Structure 1
């Protein structure tokens, strides 16, 4: 495409939509025209992008007429408007879980499997935030020697549950410190019959329980990793936990490979991998922490060490901003990749 694309942001007023806007400004993403779309409740709101004021429009199928790239912030509206936008010639990059496991839709992290973009049929899916952050640390290891087994425990920030999750942690913390009763309404999930406080607590459930007493979030990490690494034989066990942190997820990962790898080789591979940085110096107490990985583009990896019992296994710790790399940044990078490789017509 020689001309700059017409871009629409669906869900522009939410946390991920606002992050799209910030990143478009920061990364000087090119566009000839920009449309900000949301539900009828947010229509009419004013938002500023690159110094220009926009009025948020209600998202309808015809909103995508003449649009080249649709950045979808996520939510149930993707199911209805994704195919409608694609039908109108718009390339949809969708942040919801709607299309991730659809065999006709590529699931992409540009640093991990950019080759899958080429077979899209109008919709490209953004993976789950916890899967993205894990694979940014594991793909360089997989390139050294095929991964055979992964055991991962996640420490997921409340912003993964949207603005309401952030508000809930703040309100409960204030209530607790004043000696008042906490009033949980959102977590583990708004759709579940029971809610627990997150302030000064950990909740070992994200989304609902599905087969074999794993949660939907845990199975996303399993299925999405298989799809993106094109290998269903990798044995993956995930335990996903919501923690009282505002922003940026962290994960503890055990990874077993076909060959024995040295810590030095793993460190070098991760550090050379675009979008990943090694922050690992036990002598100086240096390791990634959510407070310091928030607002950053890269995923940070530390505590890299050989397993004590399995010579073919490495243990590591990774932290990354799930609203940036785990959501908006990854989607925007897909669009940037497509522009750079002249894949938008």
Structure 2
């Protein structure tokens, strides 16, 4: 007997990717139900070679559903996730709504799988921010080896991180440049085509943006509260794939060669690091892939026990949909959930 799974926000970029990945990885689901708002009812989405019709989230009965993969945004999750959890269905939420709740585990399976057992307090598990997910996959094995004291990260985040509207805006602006049409910025604060914008999410009182604060808070919650983290988040004119320039300071000595060997053996990591033209990974090459890629591993002589890295991943997969499905797989592997129909 397999599981019954609902995917909320099934018509969005991440929701569609969740459906793809569930099928790709052979998740043990007997039934998959795509959910969205009323205006999307009747739309069709793909699940492997099948076509599924979207149902309305607000009318759906979760009493016989085992898992809800939630990618409908923070406002919807705040309203619906507690109701769904109380109905006995475990919610794995992709928004920021529950990440900082002490009763909700924030999980990257390669990093802190042991935290997942706390999910039963609210029947909600949080998926981290897309830029944090790939960062901590690369940091975890290095932290275990030499204890990270400080992280300085600059992110180069693709427009898909802001949804379909961001992808459409990059496409429309790029086309407008070539045909000499007027360019308007709607989704972003400034033109994104052939430009970079050092601003993601809202500004906070200390001058950091909320996106930058998320990296700090989530890294501490999942990896180690003692780590000092500072971030600059930048939107770049790339459709899919986030890149990060990462500078690390460790308590113990660690060489670039040692780091390279550690990362080659680490779960979820793939090292592509040749000191030659093209001997590194770019966001374009990471699109559609599951791994977190690490390149440009080198020692930083300006601090004691310092390293610099280049980290790249598909933000729609490891940064969102893939990590969500991996959390569901972790629940099953640990025996923390059973199909309710079977139990009945």
TM-score after normalising by structure 2:
0.95
Structure-2 residue corresponding to 1:308 = 301
Structure-2 residue corresponding to 1:217 = 211
> What's the CA shift string for 1:78-126, capped at 9, x where partnerless?
1111001100110100000000000000000000000000111200000
| 1:61–1:85 contact (8 Å) kept in structure 2 | no
Give the count of matched residue pairs.
Answer: 335
Which segment drifts farther, 21-30 or 236-245?
A: 21-30
Structure-1 residue corresponding to 2:107 = 108
Structure-2 residue corresponding to 1:277 = 270
| 1:111–1:275 contact (8 Å) kept in structure 2 | yes
1:326 aligns with 2:327: no
**Unpaired segments of 5 or more residues in structure 1?**
188-194
Listed as ranges, the matches of 1:238-317 within 5 Å are 238-317=231-310
Match of 1:49 among 47, 50, 67: 47
**CA-CA distance at 1:61 after TM superposition:** 6.6
Q: Helix, strand or coil: the match of 1:337?
A: helix
Give, in whole Å, the separation in 2 of the partners of 1:266 and 1:299.
15
Give, in whole Å, the separation in 2 of the partners of 1:106 and 1:147.
22
Structure-2 residue corresponding to 1:208 = 202
Give, in whole Å, the separation in 2 of the partners of 1:17 and 1:129.
14
**CA-CA distance at 1:74 after TM superposition:** 3.9
Give, in whole Å, the separation in 2 of the partners of 1:126 and 1:255.
24
Structure-1 residue corresponding to 2:180 = 179
Structure-2 residue corresponding to 1:60 = 58
Q: Helix, strand or coil: the match of 2:243?
A: strand
Which segment drifts farther, 24-33 or 153-162?
A: 24-33
**CA-CA distance at 1:62 after TM superposition:** 4.4
Give, in whole Å, the separation in 2 of the partners of 1:74 and 1:125.
13
Judged with a 3 Å threshold, the aligned counterparts in structure 2 of structure 1 residues 111 and 165 are, in CA distance, closer, same or farther, namely same
CA RMSD of aligned residues (A): 1.1
Give, in whole Å, the separation in 2 of the partners of 1:197 and 1:316.
29
Give, in whole Å, the separation in 1 of the partners of 2:59 and 2:154.
40
**Unpaired segments of 5 or more residues in structure 2?**
339-344
